Amino acid sequence: MTASTLTITRRPARRRRHNGLLYAGVAAVVIYCLAPFYWMLVSSLRRSSDIFDTSLLPSPVSFENYTRVFDPAQGFGRALLNSLVVAGVTTVAALLLATFTAYAMARLEFRFKRLILTLIIATSMFPVVSIVVPLLKLFTDIGWINTYQSMIVPSMSFALPLAVWNLTTFFRQMPDELEHAAMVDGCTRGQAFRKIIIPLAAPGIFTTAIITFIAAWNEFLIALSMTNRPEMQTAPVAISKFTGATTWETPFGSQMAAGVVVTIPLVIMVLLFQRRIVAGLTAGAAK
């Protein structure tokens, strides 16, 4: 790694110091983010009788927690699928609605803009604990209990404001000359937006999507309250139902294993998408 960076440097000494600093920084970030996660991973690989162990490596390594997580009786696979549906639909819907709204906020002139933005953010402020009972009553009345929409629609309450605000700032950063040039070239406003702004704002849109998806993926209280059939529960709800052999035991190992199982797909997904988006970006810039 260092060899390749050295060959391209013009001022080796300074560069090297700079690179050294950079890698030290990267290492710090990685350690900061991953050390606790490492602990989670290690704990998930211990036998349930070793959970109080504080050694840095599990000895012996045991996959009993993972077999327990994927025990068909837990229905965890189904729960992951449900989470994927709920978080996926929430993200797509929130991003779609938010894109329109954010475009209007960033590019159009109209009255009450601040008021609307403030209203939108205000809606994401009410504690979930307090909206869950009224929502439950509402959804019971209209027969939405045990449906995906009963989880997706309330998730919009936090996903949508987040998406609108983020996208607004990213769209605003796009130079409007490009868009205007495209319109002069004969694009409609919609085309200009789709072909110029969206690709340019891709990092922002993508980041917003990840953050929205994760927020929805991890939602617990609403998902717990709106479902009572095991085949409808989401992953966080399923995790809350992990038990030890008796009431008193905390199935810490299984919970950590479940945490790992819930987190890793997200990271892999991000990795895959990221490649594509970064590639798309550079391709666009080359034109």
Partner 1 sequence: MSHTRVPPPSPDADVVTGAPAVPARTERPAPRGGRRTVRATSGTAGMAALLVSPTLLVLAVVVLYPTVMALHESLYGPKGLDPETGFISDTEPFVGLQNYADILGEAGERFWNAFWNTTFFTVVTVTLETVIGVAMALIMHKAFRGRGFVRAGILIPWAVPTAISGLLWRWIFNSDGVANALLGRQILWTSEGFQAKLAVIVAEVWKTAPFIGLLVLAGLQVIPKEVYEAARIDGAGRARRFWHVTLPLVKPALLVAVLFRCMDALRMFDLPYILIGAQKNSVETLSMLAQNEASNVRFGPASAYAVILFVYVFLIALAFVRLLGTDLVGDTGTPERSRRFGRRRKSAEVTA
Partner 2 sequence: MKTRSTRAIPSAAVLTVGGLLLTACGSSGDGGSGQAGPASFEGRGPISYVAAKDTTGTIQPLIDRWNKQHPDEKVTFIQLPTDADAQRQQMIQNAETKSDAYTVLSLDVVWTSEFAAHQWIDRLPEKQFPLGRMLEPVVETAKYRDGLYAVPHSSDGGMLYYRTDLLKKAGVKAPPKTWAEMKDACAKVQKLPEGKGVGCYAGQFQKYEGLTVNFSEAVHSAGGVVTGPDGKPDVDTPEAKQGLDFLVGSLKDGTIPKKAVTYLEEDGRQAFQNGKLVFLRNWPYVYSHAQKSDVRGKFAVAPLPGLNGPGSSSLGGHNLAVSSFAKNKATALDFIKFMTSEQSTETLLKEASLAPPYASLYDDQQLIDQYPYLPVLKESIVRAVPRPRVVPYGDVTASIQREAYAALTGSKSSADALKALQADLQKSVAQ
Judged by CB under 8 A, which stretch of 117-125, 194-202, 245-253, 270-278 contacts partner 2? 245-253
145 near partner 2, judged by CB under 8 A:
yes
Of 136, 144, 124, 161, nearest to 222 by C-alpha is 136
65 near partner 2, judged by CB under 8 A:
no
Q: Please, what is the minimum distance in Å from the beta carbon of residue 58 to partner 2?
A: 17
Cβ distance to partner 2 smaller for residue 80 or 239: 239
Judged by CB under 8 A, the residue of 6, 243, 267, 273 near partner 2 is 243
Of 21, 29, 124, 70, nearest to 260 by C-alpha is 70
Q: Count the site residues for partner 2 by CB under 8 A.
A: 27
> What, of partner 2, partner 1, none, does residue 43 touch, CB below 5 to 8 Å by kind?
partner 1
Peptide bond into 203 cis (omega under 30): no
Report the distance separating Cα 133 and Cα 131, nearest Å: 6
Q: Please, what is the minimum distance in Å from the beta carbon of residue 9 to partner 1?
A: 13
Report the distance separating Cα 241 and Cα 220, nearest Å: 12
**Burial degree of 137 (CB within 10 A; 0-12, 13-18, 19+):** exposed
Q: Please, what is the minimum distance in Å from the beta carbon of residue 117 to partner 1?
A: 5
Report the distance separating Cα 25 and Cα 142, nearest Å: 54
Report the distance separating Cα 37 and Cα 260, nearest Å: 8
> What, of partner 2, partner 1, none, does residue 275 touch, CB below 5 to 8 Å by kind?
partner 1
Residue by residue, DSSP assigns 80-96 as HHHHHHHHHHHHHHHHH
Q: Please, what is the minimum distance in Å from the beta carbon of residue 34 to partner 1?
A: 6
Residues 99-138 that bind partner 2 (CB under 8 A): 132-133, 136-137
Residues 76-95 that bind partner 2 (CB under 8 A): none
> What, of partner 2, partner 1, none, does residue 36 touch, CB below 5 to 8 Å by kind?
partner 1
What does the block give as tokens for 128? 């979930």
Report the distance separating Cα 66 and Cα 243, nearest Å: 14
Judged by CB under 8 A, which stretch of 19-27, 79-87, 249-257, 274-282 contacts partner 2? 249-257
Footprint of partner 2 on this chain (CB under 8 A)? 49, 52, 73, 132-133, 136-137, 140, 145, 224-225, 228-230, 237, 240-251
